[in-house]
Amino acid sequence: MNTVVKIIIAVIVIILFVIIIKKLRKSSARYYKKATKLHKKGEKYHLLGDQELAEEYYQDADYYRSKARELENVV
């Protein structure tokens, strides 16, 4: 392999590494987004009449909201 190909491969590996780190990093925005999705699922099952499942989704959403608030207080 010539030098140009090695440099291109190295750049691609670095970019992939940065993307993976960003995806795995904990952030309050990420937790709020997850809480929002869970809350919407809870609303859906509430409207369908499944109160137990709706309550589980609401509790999960509350958990992720509290985790997001904890991260905001740390920063």
Q: pLDDT tens, 23-69?
A: 777 788 889 999 999 999 999 999 999 999 999 999 999 999 999 99
Query: Where does residue 61 rank: exposed (0-12), middle (13-18), buried (19+ CB within 10 A)?
Result: buried
Amino acid 2: pLDDT: 87
Q: What's the domain count of the chain?
A: 1
- Reading phi first (left if > 0) and then psi (alpha if -120 to 50, else beta), residue 2 is in beta
Q: How far apart are CA 47 and CA 53, in angstroms?
A: 11
Tell which wins on pLDDT, 1 or 18.
18
Q: What is the value of pTM for the model shown?
A: 0.67
pLDDT classification of 75: cutoffs 50, 70, 90: low
> Residue 54 is part of which domain span?
3-74
Q: How far apart are CA 72 and CA 38, in angstroms?
A: 20
